[in-house]
Amino acid sequence: MNIPINLITLYADLIQDLHLRSERPASLYQREIKGISYTYAKRQAGTVRRDIFIGRTDAPDTLKRIKVIETENQRAADRRKTIAALKAGGIPAPASDLGLVLDALDDAGLLKATVLVGTSAYLSYPAFVGTLLPQASLSTEDADIATMSLALKADVEEDSFETVLKRADPTYAGMPGLNPKAYPSRFRAKSGFTVDLLTPVLRRDDPNPIAIQGLQAAAATLQFLRWLIQDPIQAASLFGSGQPIFIPQPARYAVHKLIVAQRRTGNVVKRSKDLAQAKALIDALKRRDPFALEDARDAAFAEGESWETPIRRSLSELKLTADFEPGMA
């Protein structure tokens, strides 16, 4: 089902608004200490409300920031109306578990330096490819967060990644890996929802996972990830008043799924989901942006036989080989 152009335009405007935002919405209040008035803000972060110090109320910088926050509060109210209209039009929004995680990460400033991958990213593609995608491929019980920087830090220096996630759900805890002394790269809530930190393979002799000291966490290394998250695009999460996110280019995501599907030898469910997502995006891109699909295909084939072979095998399974050959556009 094609998405009406007015909804695509609304979504594009929402992306721009969120990525230009300099403050998150917050409730302002004053507190007097030794006869001097100070301004604070209560800001939602997942399921909790955090107190943020703004400054001495009569200070120029404080007055300037107060005005910015007040403006943002109005813009946030407008965005909620936009998000309601997009959801009413069928544009998918994250379920509560994912939405709360993204909100907590946004509050901590971590969405600015990460790329959402996996099904959590796939949720955002309909407005980019101009069509609604199969619902069965949209459900997810995890969030995969990829970073190119091992110097990743939250805005508040003492916040660990687990501390940030606990604002989304206090039951989040790091899951020990093979080395119990290493920082965890996977975190799970009692609901079963899982958050994974990922990073591209840098050198063959690097440990896996690699520590991210600034977050007291680690990132699992994945082959093909660097290619997937190269030149990500801006997107918007339709939760609350919205969160600015980065996701892989849809054509690269589709090709990446063709590759990883062939590596899921022990997981039939995930393999089927990979192939279903790849096919849905390829079908949509052939109509809307075939040259982007060609470029992603050519870039992957240029990496060599170890990339081309799994791509061709997945295409054969999907009966899309003829549609994916040079000159298809």
Average pLDDT over residues 92-121: 95
pLDDT per residue over 147-193, tens digit each? 988 889 999 888 999 999 999 999 999 998 877 788 999 999 999 99
Task: Indicate if the pLDDT at residue 218 is higher than 50.
Answer: yes
Task: Indicate if the pLDDT at residue 325 is higher than 80.
Answer: no
How far apart are alpha carbons 262 and 240 in whole angstroms? 37
Domain range summary for the chain, segments of one domain joined by +: 18-88, 92-246, 250-324
Q: Hey, what long-range contacts does 56-64 have (CB within 8 A, 24 or more apart)? A: 57/30
User: Which of 7-11, 103-107, 141-145, 174-178 has the lowest average pLDDT?
Assistant: 174-178
- Kindly report the pTM of this predicted structure: 0.93
Task: Indicate if the pLDDT at residue 6 is higher than 70.
Answer: yes
| Chain centroid to CA 306 | 28
pLDDT per residue over 57-71, tens digit each? 999 999 999 999 999
How far apart are alpha carbons 310 and 33 in whole angstroms? 65
Q: Where are the alpha helices (DSSP H) in 89-200?
A: 96-107, 119-122, 126-129, 161-166
CA dihedral in degrees (156, 166, 244, 255; nearest 10)? Answer: 120
**Residue 328 confidence (pLDDT):** 52
**Residue 19 confidence (pLDDT):** 97
Give residue 267's pLDDT band: very low, low, confident or very high (50, 70, 90).
confident
Q: 199, 113 in Cβ contact below 8 A? A: no
